[in-house]
Amino acid sequence: MSLIENDQGCSWINQLSKRSNIKSVLNDEDCDWLIVGAGYTGLSAARKLSELHPQKKIILVDAQLAGEGASGRNSGYLVDTTLNDGFTSNKELSNYKKKTDIYKLGIETLKKFIKQYQVDCDWNNSGKYFASSKYEDKIILQNFSKTLSKLGFEHNLLSQNELMQRLGTSFYNTGLYTIGGVLLHPGKLVRAMVNALPNNVILYENSTLKKWENKKNVIYCKFENATITTKKIIFCTNGFLKSLGIKTNYNFPLTLTASMTRPLSENEFKSIKEPKEWGVLPIKPMGATVRMTKDKRILIRNTAEVYNPFKMSNIELKKRSINQKIGIKKRFPSLPDDIIESSWAGIVSRSRNSSQIFDKINDNIYVAGCYNGSGIGVGTLFGEQIAIKASGESSIEINTINNRQEPTWLPPQPFLNIGVKLRLIYERLKANTEI
């Protein structure tokens, strides 16, 4: 069975130049700090550790190429609000505000990085849409509107005609627009983070952590051909936390698949009324996430499942791509059938109550992750702040993070997988035509 290789399927990554001087773990060595996972969180943690400990030896390691896992393969939404939360009581509203406070900090953290390093990542303050083809979903959006009003988020409820004018499709009948969201190119952003790594950070890629153990406050990390010994370790593997035995009863991985079209031709773009760049998030959890990119491509993500993408054959991926082609045709029937350029899979980490993991396991082991599909800003924020926390320091940001709800306990296997699969089936049936 052929495997889905990280650097061969995703349009975001394929648009980037190939990197050189890629090193893997080949020899035994010691370090002061080891960071496992070189996505938004790990890259951000390494940058901050370098600043705090310029004389220390810092190693950053990833099982794949840095930034080319979920960080470079997502939909490129930097969110300020999410819809799929409960917020009917005062307590729930308070918890929701705590979550949005973290989103705001994530956006500000990224803004600082982009300004400092002069990053071009197609940053677009275009906001985002929550939309549905079902008129009855207007009630959900009206209730959400009340919540946003209470918290001071600028937004507008939109009719089918207004959505048609903005999105170029008559598929959606009801929608809500929020002004605070950002669209960007995730590949360009995470590549800039790789390029911004300081000189005292050693990056090893294509190096899978096989086993780790903590003996008398010394951590031994076994790779294929060598062992790294470290004084302190930070786990930033997000969807792979569970496979490394980290917070196993508080997070679980989900596999998402997505497809992106080639750039639309001038006539194709005219046929959908030449809309400005936009992003639509579904009202139902299993509905489709859809984007119009800066270079006139359409991205669609409408599959979430309990599945390992690195054991997914090309045939299996093609099956999911067909579903995504159908999703595009439902929204844009004038576009040709053979428009999809690439399809890919990636892993995200979820918790039972959609809360993130930010924790000190003991004096020399720390972890940050589980972003529930909203990891661009939050992951960058958590990486920076877990480095501060692991250094024995504090910050206003850490206080805000600690004020969130903690992830709630999950049942053990096989009950967890059974429960998640049944829930996904239920949510998929509810989403129905929105896929």
Q: In tens digits, what is the pLDDT along the chain, a chain of 435 residues?
A: 344 555 468 999 999 999 999 999 999 999 999 999 999 999 999 999 999 999 999 999 999 999 999 999 999 999 999 996 555 577 788 999 999 999 999 999 999 999 999 999 999 999 999 999 999 999 999 999 999 999 999 999 999 999 999 999 999 999 999 999 999 999 999 999 999 999 999 999 999 999 999 999 999 999 999 999 999 999 999 999 999 999 999 999 999 999 999 999 999 999 999 999 999 999 998 999 999 999 999 999 998 999 887 778 888 899 999 999 999 999 999 999 999 999 999 999 999 999 999 999 999 999 999 999 999 999 999 999 999 999 999 999 999 999 999 999 999 999 999 999 999 999 999 998 999
Q: How far apart are CA 405 and CA 250, in angstroms?
A: 12
Residue 400 tokens read as 């805000």
Identify the pLDDT of residue 310. Answer: 76
CB 105 within 8 A of CB 400: yes
Specify the pTM: 0.96
> Which residues are 221's β-sheet partners?
212, 228
Instruction: Please enumerate in sequence order all residues whose Cβ is within 8 A of that of 152, keeping only pairs 6 or more positions apart, or say none.
Output: none
Residue 371 tokens read as 């972003």
Identify the pLDDT of residue 9. Answer: 80
Identify the pLDDT of residue 7. Answer: 44
Q: How far apart are CA 433 and CA 130, in angstroms?
A: 15
Identify the pLDDT of residue 1. Answer: 35
* Cα atoms in the 13 Å half-sphere on the side-chain side of 363: 5
- For residue 179, give Cα distances in angstroms to 83, 228, 294, 334: 14, 46, 18, 29
Q: For the domain 21-73+188-251+354-419, what is the CATH code?
A: 3.50.50.60
Identify the pLDDT of residue 92. Answer: 86
> Which residues are 185's β-sheet partners?
none
Residue 201 tokens read as 């950070």
**Virtual CA dihedral for 122, 123, 125, 127, nearest 10 degrees?**
70
Dihedral pair phi/psi, residue 229, rounded to 5°: -105, 130
Identify the pLDDT of residue 264. Answer: 98
